[in-house]
Every structure is written in C-alpha cells, then in structure tokens.
Chains A and B, each alone.
Chain A
Amino acid sequence: MGRYLGRKILIYGLTFFLAVTIDWLIPRFMPGDPVTNMLARVSVNSDAAAVMYDYYSHIFGLDVPVWQQYINFWVSLFHGDLGKSAYLFPTPVVQVLLRAVPYDLFLLLPSILLSWYAGNHFGAFAARSKWLDSTASPISYILTATPYMWLGILLAWFFGIVLDAFPVAGAYSFSLRPDWSWVFILDVLHHWFLPFVSLFLVGFGGWAIGMRNMIIYELEADYSRYLEALGAPRKLIRKYAFRNGLLPQITGLALQLGVVVAGALVTEVVFSYPGIGYLLLAGIQNQDYFLIQGCFLFIITGVLLANFAIDLIYVVVDPRTRLGLMGETA
C-alpha cells in the first residue's frame, strides 16, 4: 500500500510540474502581450507611450529574460503569489480567483452531485421497464446532447422574459447588499436556480444514459445470468448490477468534480453569473498571462486531486483493486 501510494504521488508530482510548465508556456505563445492591451487607447505621444510601456513591463516582471521569468514564476508560486491580473489590474490573481471560486462551487457542486445521483438512479430505473426505456432514453439523449448555452438561453427566455418568474442576470439582485438576511438568501437562490437547472438537466441526461447502458450490460453479464439461474430474486440481481455499473460512473463523477471550477463558462456568460469560467474567457481575450495561469492552475490541481481521490476510492469500492494491491505487496 505504501509503495503504491508513493508511486502514485511521484507520478502526480511529475504531472503537476509538466502541466504547470505548459500552463506557463501557452499564454506566452499567444500573439500579443498584456501590457500592449492594457495601454491601448492611452492617448499620449509616442515618446511618453514608450516610457509607460517599459514601466508596466517592469511591474509585471516581463522586462527580464524569459528563462528568468520562468524561474521567478515558480519561486512566487511557492510563495502563494500568482502575480497581478492585467485585465483586473492591479488585483492580485489569487484574490480574483478567491472571489470567483465560491460562485462556481455553489453552482456546480450541487448540479454535478445532484444530477449524478438522480441520473444514475433514474437510468437504473429506466433500464427496468421497456416502456420507460423507449420514452425516457430519447429524452435523455436529447438533454445530454443539448449545448448548455442553448438550453440556458431557452430557460432564460421562457422563465425569465416570458413568464418573468426568474431573474436573468447576476448572482443576486442589483438592488441588494449582501447580508445574512432571509431576503438576501432567498434572492441568491432565486438567481441561482435557472443556471443550476440548465446544468442539472444536461448532466442528468448524460448520467442517466450511462447508467442505463451499464445496467443493461451488467444484466447480460455471466454473473447475473448465473444468479438468475440460481433463482435469486430480480431485486438482488439488479442491486449487484447497479453496484457494478456505478464504478465507471464514479470515475466520471470524480473527473467532473476536478474541472468543477471551470465547468460552467457558457452558463456563466448566458446568465451573467460571476465565476471562474467567465474570468478565464476574459483573461484569454486580454492576454492576461497571470489570470490564465491562475485559472488553469486551479483546474490542473482540481483534476489531479480528483484523480488521486479516485485512485484511493477505488481501493475501497472495487475489491478487485484491493486484491491486486495485495498481490503486489505479497
């Protein structure tokens, strides 16, 4: 077990190093630089513009050779400093991210977990009945193939504009100040609902189909047939099938949770909902090296942690992994 963990940690460490290096490199391959974009529109004569350009390059640490920028990047990373955002100058990137992440978690965690839970159970349930299968599956397929954006716009239009039952922009009313009153909390939930539903529905369709297919596959597997031949009750067989079918779904869930902070870009744009997705888009459009790096760092860390978590969880939920480990250590 110790050797298994050690090897995993080494691999993850190496992956982290490479991924972060690529994360550092990619924005710098893009044409343009943050200072040029920042100072666009400053109407001064060209001598003064050159002075300002140098000044801001220095502020961002872009006036030293590239290799040195790379080393500086790692040094400050371990100090917890991701630099200053150029798009949201002069806010430190860490602060920008910390402000945005709660919105992502609040929106995505419930929608991913709930759609996973509900989707799996519904899928398993649908696989049981022919009638349900032939009606629910196509709906699920349509749902999962729906672009988030389209569903989002549709929801915003119908519930926001036509029925006027839900707001279409912001995380809470523009007329409120955040505080811990019921008015405010209800208002936050009211704004949260439509983006949540759009994410939930699309996710729900995907999980339901996955589970339905898994159940059908598992019910055809040898162990199911054997159980059936032994005369085991159908309920028991289904229970086993569900457990087995759940394994790949757990992997999928973990991966989704890993990208949780970046997962809702289009939804955030459609509903004008604050979060990292929108920042990432803006960062890329503005050549904001530091903001892009910061957003991707969150995503990289998230994916790696999620993968690591699956490795650990599998040891618990999948006896085959446990047996393999024992064989290895023996």
Chain B
Amino acid sequence: MRKFVLTALSVFVVASLILSGCATPTPQTIIQTVEVPKEVKVVETKEVVVEKEVQVTPVPPKSYPRNETLYVSGAAWGPVSTWNPYQPGSLANATGIIGNVYELLFVYDPLSDKMTPWLAEEGTWSDPNTYEVTLRSGLTWSDGQPLTAADVKFTFELGQKYAAMWFANMWRYLTGVEAVDDTHVVFTFNDPLYQEFENNLYNIPIVPEHLWKDRAEEEITVGANEKPVGSGAYMYETHAEDRNVWVRNENWWGIDMFGKPAPKYIVDIRTSSNNVALGMVVKGELDMSNNFLPGVAELANKDYVQTYYAQAPYMLSANTAVLFLNTTKAPMNDAAFRRALAFAIDTPSIVNVAYAQLVAPASPTGLLPTLGKYVDEDQVARLGFTFDTAKAKQLLAAAGYRDTDGDGFVEAPDGSKIELRVTCPTGWTDWMAAIDIISTSAQAAGINIKDETPDYGAWNTELQGGTFDMTLNNWANMSNTPWTLYNLLFNHPIKEQMQSGNFGRYENQEMFDLVDALARVPMSDEAGMIEATSKIQELMLTEMPMIPLWYNGLWSQFSTAAWTGWPSEEASSPTLPTTWSGYWQLGGLNTLINLKPVTP
C-alpha cells in the first residue's frame, strides 16, 4: 500500500515536473510560436478579401493582434457578471455596455457642455408638456434588425411597467410615449422635471423590443443578459474571470456619421490591485488604466505614463468629495458650528499631501469645473470659506463654543463635551489620508474630531442609516445639470434609510423647494437655471449642511506604446479618457475614434 501511494505520488511528481519544465520557456520562444499563426493568417485574409463583406459571423481569432487591441483596466472591480444595462450598482457591470453596446438618444460632452444627438437626430419641446424626438434613419441593431421609434417607446415604458427599474420614478410626471412613425417619438408630460428628464435622455440605454418583449420581469430587471445584442459600435466577444472582450461592430450605423473606433478589440481587464495595473501600464501591456495610482504624478513627469494634464492636477475632475455632516446630531445641527468647521479643514494639505497634487480643491459650492458657469461668484466671495484656523476659532467662540475644561478642545454652548468621528471605508488609502488631515486640522482649531476607518459594509450602513458623525462621499458624476449634485446633497423626502443622498438628513423644506424648482426649469433656459442655482448656493453656503472639499480625479493614465492620440488639454477637442461605467455616454466613444495605432 505504501508503495502504491509512493508510486502514485511519484507519477504525479514526474507529471508536474514535466509541466513545470514546459512552464519555463523563455519569452522569445513564446513570441516565436505566436508569430507563426499570425503569418498564416495574413495569407488567409489576403485570399478572402472579396468574401469579407459577405461574412456575417466572423470566426473568433485565437489571439488579438496588438495593433488592433486596446487594453484597459480600472472599471471592473470583479469578474464581469452582468451585461444588463439596467442593473443598478455598477460593481460587476461590463464596462461599455451602456454607450458602446446599448446606445442612448443623446450623448453629453461635459468638456464642451454640449448635448450631441446620437440615436436621435434632434429633440425639441414643441410645447412645455410635449417633447418630440426624431430618430436618425438607417439605425440598426447588430443582428441586422432596424432600430425604430417602437424600440424607444418600449424602452421608456419598461419604467412604467416595472417599479424596480431605476427610471420608473420618471413616470410620476411622464404621461405617455408614442411612436408616431418609425422615426418619430412623442413624450407627453404633466408638470415635467426638465432637468431630470434631459439628464435621462443620455442615461437610459435603448434596448431592442424584438428581443426583449417576451422576457419575464426578472429577466429584464435583474437578468444577466448574456450575449447582448445592441445597436452600438462594439459587440460582445468573450469574457473570463479576469477580462471582458468587445469586438468592433463593422456594420455599425454610426461609422459614416462619427467615424470608426480605432481598436478592433477592447480587452477590459480586472486587476486585483492597483499595483498590478501600475506594473502593466509601465510595461506598456495596458494602454489605459483608470485606477487610482498614488504617485502617478512622478511617473507622468518622467514620461513613463501620459495624463490629461501634463502638470498638476494631471487628472480631469470627475466628482466632488463632500464631507457630509450628520445634522440630526449635536453640534452638527448648528449651522454656526458647521460653518466654523468648514474654515477649520486644511484642504490645501489634502490636495498637496494626501493626493500629491493629483486633485484640485473644490469650489465651496461643490459644482464641478465643467459646470462653472452656474457658480455664483458673488455669493462665493461673500459666503465662501477657505482654510483659516484663526477664523474657525473666532467663529466657534462667537457661536458660544469655548474650551471650558482646559483640555484644548471646545465644549458646546451648554457645556457638554464634543467628541466626533470622521469616517471613510478602510483601504481607500487616499480618503484615509484625507480624513487624517481633516481630523488633525480640526483639532488644531479646537474641535475634537478623530478619524476612523470602518469596513466598507459598516461604513455604508452608517452612511445610509444616518448613524455617522461626519463622512466623505462623492456619488454625483459629471453631469449636464447642477441638479445632479443637488439631488445627491439634498435628496428628499427624508426616509429612515437614505440610499442615494442627503446622508446627513439635512431637513429644510425651503432648500427642497429650491431644488425642486431647479428641476422644473427647462434646460434651454440657462438664465433661469443660473438664477435657481444661485438661490440654492446662497442657502447652502449660509447653512453649510455639508462641506465640499476637493474634486476627485477622473483617474486615467495611458501608455503610448501601442496607441497614440490620447485626450489631453492640448488636443483641439479633447474627450474623456475613461472606461468607467456611466462615462461612455459622456463622449467616451470619441476617445476611441481619435486613437491611432503606433504600428498600423
């Protein structure tokens, strides 16, 4: 028996040794073996050039040629598990499913602040309660079927049928969607929220009715939608534990209109840690990394990687990091205290030390630079805040916060001690460094704040359940309207669980009315929007229910080893260099159209 065990073992060992012997070929041998099928293939393609257009289902290649393949990472944080464009919570969404596979009526370019008609040719308000969309003619799904007004109607009506769709809420004010003919859709409203609706125009992906109409509710709301059929420039190729591959749709309707995206294949890589992404981008194996890589400024200065700006802040601003204050707890329920705290926080150090200049300090209004025209500079000059410890101390004293027991920290006006916690999820190293600076600088002003880093789950529970003292959050993306930010900051009505904003439960009907009023301003009425936003800013800066601190970057570093033509501030019409979910419809596809292979 013992002999048998040993024999079995040694057979295995020998087998493994042979395998491990195979495992040590030098890279050269591998490259050589790759090259052989490549040469063969060149001959093949030469021979079948005539047939190429007839071929409907191309045979999948065994390997992707480097000069036709774009390798990206930073969007996927887990093995891709769903291609459902309506799946909320973008953890395991396939990046590009919205925008590159399922398309939108419009796309919005935040850099030029322009809505570009996409599937739509144009959209107009024929009267305040009627919106008419004309679709482009000749739109097709990747299975060859035409994309018509019926598909648009079907898509929007999913929200009416199923309460679990994220845009179901739109049907509070949307009363009907009619397909007049193949290219005309009419939306009718009752008291429309223009800002929300026009934001949805570039966020609701249109799906094919002929493939979706027979699906059961659960299949539509939470189904994985494997092998998706969309109308966009890319189609599903394959996926594995650590990647999702898209292949270009050679028959895409938009090629004549917008141009052909340069990469034939997009390989979206799930890296397990940022270090892996960093190693790969420096080696030129990864063309674009949208991971947050601390210290990338150093690498950009030495030309190992390229970034959007050649100098600080290197990255575009993607969203605003806001310090939410729990206004249901003392002393955060006191506007004077909140304002004093705003002056106490050392944002310059967060920008320069915690981020090593990869980010920019935020406007006190919290509005992104792309929405700069809505910032009321007079209000900011009058009511804004800057880092000023002395001023913070003075404001605290004026509001009755004094150090009565001599421990170096102020007590509340009623004499009770103040001990607060500022939190962020553990492992988010940039935010951990930031809250450390927040607590240190607040302590210098006499406010006793300690930083804590709970698990993500625990942090999320505190955030949404409203049991935190103060915490960081940045859940409002780049947008065509300031309403998106205010929908996060002043989400209402206040519920027991606040899932999508106003985590500090700031309850002020005046503010809610102002935000609702903004939502009702037509997008074409820019003066009206500026006026409505200005009122919100004034109340926000006076009350300071939360404190905008800095702009988180649109983390993006790219390699010019295989592709050039990356977006940069010097480009004539730059686009967003990102693969993050929710950003493709902000013109991300144009980035791909502008790319050029180094070796054609």
A interface, CB within 8 angstroms of B: 30-33, 36-53, 55-56, 59, 85, 87-91, 96, 99-100, 103, 110, 113-114, 117, 153, 156, 160-161, 164-165, 168-171, 173-179, 181-187, 189-190, 192-193, 196, 243, 268-274, 278, 282, 285-287, 316-317
Contacts and interface: CB of A to CB of B under 8 A. Distances in A.
Contacts of B62: 176-177, 179, 181, 183-184
Nearest to A313: B5
B34 interface: yes
Nearest to B581: A41
A278 B76 CA distance: 14
A46 B494 contact: yes
A227 B199 CA distance: 88
B111 interface: no
B267 A156 contact: no
B273 A90 contact: no
Contacts of B497: 36, 49-50, 53
A39 B88 contact: yes
Contacts of B476: 43
Contacts of B16: 110, 113-114
Contacts of B29: 186
A276 to B, nearest CB: 11
Contact of B81 (A59, A90, A168, A193): A90
B530 interface: no
B224 interface: yes
Contacts of A85: 81
B495 A50 contact: yes
Contact of A90 (B30, B168, B222): B222
Interface residues of B, number: 96
B279 A160 contact: yes
Interface centre among B218, B267, B282, B495 (most CB of A within 10 A): B495
Given A43-B484, A177-B238, 5 more contacts: A36-B464, A43-B487, A90-B223, A182-B33, A285-B457
B166 interface: yes
Given A46-B498, A160-B279, A175-B66, A113 B461 contact: no
B272 A269 contact: yes
Contact of A37 (B61, B242, B456): B456
A168 B495 contact: no
Contact of A87 (B78, B221, B464): B78
B241 A171 contact: yes
A169 B279 contact: yes
A30 B457 CA distance: 8
Contacts of B13: 113-114, 117
B500 A192 contact: no
B382 interface: no
A44 B81 contact: no
A272 B273 contact: yes
Interface of B: 1-2, 5, 9-10, 12-13, 16-17, 19-20, 22-27, 29-30, 33-34, 37, 60-64, 66, 69, 71, 77-79, 81-82, 87-92, 163-164, 166-169, 218, 221-224, 238, 240-243, 267, 269-273, 275-276, 279-280, 282-283, 285, 427, 454-458, 460-462, 464, 475-476, 484, 487-488, 491-495, 497-502
Given A43-B501, A183-B62, A286 B455 contact: no
B457 A287 contact: yes
Contacts of B23: 189-190, 192-193, 196
B414 to A, nearest CB: 31
B457 A31 contact: yes
Contacts of A36: 457, 460-461, 464, 497, 499
A177 B461 contact: no
Nearest to A274: B241
A214 B492 CA distance: 70
B499 A49 contact: yes
B517 to A, nearest CB: 15
A298 to B, nearest CB: 16
A272 B223 contact: no
B9 to A, nearest CB: 6
A52 B166 contact: yes
A46 B500 contact: yes
B31 to A, nearest CB: 10
B493 A186 contact: no
A177 B223 contact: no
Interface centre among A31, A187, A192 (most CB of B within 10 A): A31
A290 to B, nearest CB: 13
